[in-house]
Amino acid sequence: MDKVNIGVIFGGRSGEHEVSLMSARSVLDALDPEKFKITQIGISHDGEWLVGENILEKMTEGQITGLSPAALFPDPSRHGLFLIKEIQSHEVLEYLVALDVVFPVLHGTFGEDGTLQGFLEMAGVAYIGAGVLGSSVGMDKGVFRDVMLANGIPVVDTIVVLRSEIDENIDQVAGRAEQITSYPMFVKPANTGSSVGITKCHSRADLIEGLLDAARYDRRILVQRAVNAREIEVSVLGNDLPEVSIPGEIRPAADFYSYDAKYKDDNSELLIPAPLSDEMTKRIRSLAIKAYKAIDCAGMARVDFFLDRDTFEIYLGELNTIPGFTKISMYPKLWEASGLPYPRLVDRLVDLALERKADRDRTEWRYKN
């Protein structure tokens, strides 16, 4: 059989650029070169698409000299990746490779939020993960919360404020937050992951600082009641008929599962499987499927829950449509513990992307009377 041409895109214009590079390394190690012809595509902090030898290593080291600019076009008749070359002071396109499927290993804005997915839809290229709707709703924690409430899925008390409101009267915003909950509370950007821009606030001074920090990363900011909770996660895989892994539990080394606790501190614990009753496990897996379907997710997602230690209530925290893929990330580890090792997981994701593309191609785009 012919090899599948797969483009692995990493880096990107977000605060999770470095996490994306770590995830990409693990994905590239898992892809079988006997099955796939792999093209590595890096996106710089400034948004430039690049290709070239040892690109992942160069981007990890912050050295992108010697790499070549590249482009993918939204025109489906120009199906493939092009090099951009300069010849006699003119930029010239040179066809590089056709792409059967794209694996966007991009966390955060401009990669996980539906923007890249919309571009790939226009280009007519199959891609791994959720579509435009699932990606955008899953990314925006404020909209996601509203969709969960509409579907009867419990979430933590939250308000959404705008950066412009913080700029105009930050004390008024703090007063609104204090009306919904007492301290401690969390402040987080609506559209980031990897705990970028999240602050746990124990006082009005912390809250002011947290609001200003979160506003650096997004124009929509969440203030959320803190729960004395265990952090439970499950991995979901599939399109119309998704499956759920066994649950895992995170015991962070810090006060909460911050960026440093995730990627820099080896003292955080991952308990797989999570020590839960059969009834609680069943409830969490059922809610994960319900949330996954509610936003029309596809391909994959990691679904995070809070289990209140005092009341034993379950709250859905978020649904991550492009979860971390590093060797220590929960998403692949949960599937491995559920009987699906990393290389087979990646193969399955490619199959799901091609399946989704085939289903999408059945749609008629011209009205026929």
CB-based burial, 220-254: b 16+ in 10 Å, e otherwise: bbbbbbbbebbbbbbbbbbbeebebbbbbbbebee
Please check the confidence at residue 119 and state whether its pLDDT lies above 90. Answer: yes
Residue whose token pair is 């897996």: 285
**325-328: which pairs have CB atoms within 8 A and are 24 or more residues apart?**
325/23, 325/24, 325/26, 325/27, 325/105, 326/19, 326/22, 326/23, 326/25, 326/26, 326/263, 327/26, 328/270
Q: Answer whether 235's CB lies under 8 Å from 335's CB.
A: yes
Mean pLDDT of 213-222: 93
CA dist 106 and 96 (Å) reads 22
Of the candidates 260, 253, 184, 194, the residue with the CA atom closest to the CA atom of residue 223: 184
Q: What is the pLDDT of residue 305?
A: 97
What tens digit of pLDDT does each residue of 284-316 get?
999 999 999 999 999 999 999 999 999 999 999
The answer to whether 269 and 233 have CB atoms below 8 angstroms apart is: no
Q: Which of 211, 41, 161 is nearest to 111 (CA)?
A: 41
Upper half-sphere CA count for residue 45 (Cβ side, 13 Å): 10
- Over the stretch 229-271, which tens digit does the pLDDT of each residue have? 999 999 999 999 999 999 999 998 766 554 555 555 567 789 9
What pLDDT shows up at residue 328? 81
User: The whole model's pTM is what?
Assistant: 0.91
Q: Where are the alpha helices (DSSP H) in the chain?
A: 17-30, 55-60, 115-123, 132-139, 141-150, 163-180, 204-214, 259-263, 278-294, 330-337, 342-360
Reference 243, options 144, 140, 348; nearest CA is 348
Residue 250: strand pairing partners: 231, 270
Q: Which domains does the chain have, with CATH numbers?
A: 4-127 (3.40.50.20), 138-154+228-359 (3.30.470.20), 158-225 (3.30.1490.20)
Assess whether pLDDT exceeds 60 at residue 221: yes
* Distance separating alpha carbons of residues 81 and 67, to the nearest angstrom: 15
Are the C-beta atoms of residues 87 and 105 closer than 8 Å to each other?
A: no
- Comparing 73-82, 199-208, 222-231, the range with the smallest average pLDDT is 73-82
Copy the structure tokens of residue 34: 């006997």
Cα distances (Å, whole numbers) of residue 192 to 65, 94, 137, 195, 227: 29, 35, 12, 7, 20
Q: 56-65 pLDDT, tens per residue?
A: 999 999 888 8
Amino acid at 346: V
